[in-house]
Structure 1
Amino acid sequence: MDATIPLQQIEKLRREFKAYLSAAHPGWSENTVSMHYSDAFYAFNNNVGLDFWSCFTSDATMLEARV
């Protein structure tokens, strides 16, 4: 199975994410939106930051999330 995302889909996702940021934060300037947009895609493309499972620091937090 090919896990590669087509370039067209990536570009569509980028446009939608930028539009979401603008709509969710109407007080942000265009520069602020662009900064968050580019930072998010840099982190995503370079596998930087926490993944979903690493936010659970102990067995107790893992059990709490199951509830």
Structure 2
Amino acid sequence: MAKVVVNQAKCVKEPEPLCVNLCPVSVFQVKKNTKALVVHEERCIMCRTCQVNCPGQAIEIIG
């Protein structure tokens, strides 16, 4: 199982972080006044789409 880590200090919340829209299995979610949150880590398929496309380089996939 993958471990998905979001460095909140580096997370770039534009209108919505890219990872939320790019993740094919909906690992991430944004709640009001927050940056990207990992809410469904068990769904991660380690495609690294979020990590590669994160403008703030805030995401690390371990596993």
Same fold (TM over 0.5): no
TM-score range relative to shorter protein? under 0.3
RCO (CA 8 Å, sep 6+): is it higher in 1 or 2?
2
TM-score, normalised relative to structure 2: 0.22
Task: Please say which structure displays the higher CA radius of gyration.
Answer: 1
Higher helix share: 1
TM-score, normalised relative to structure 1: 0.21
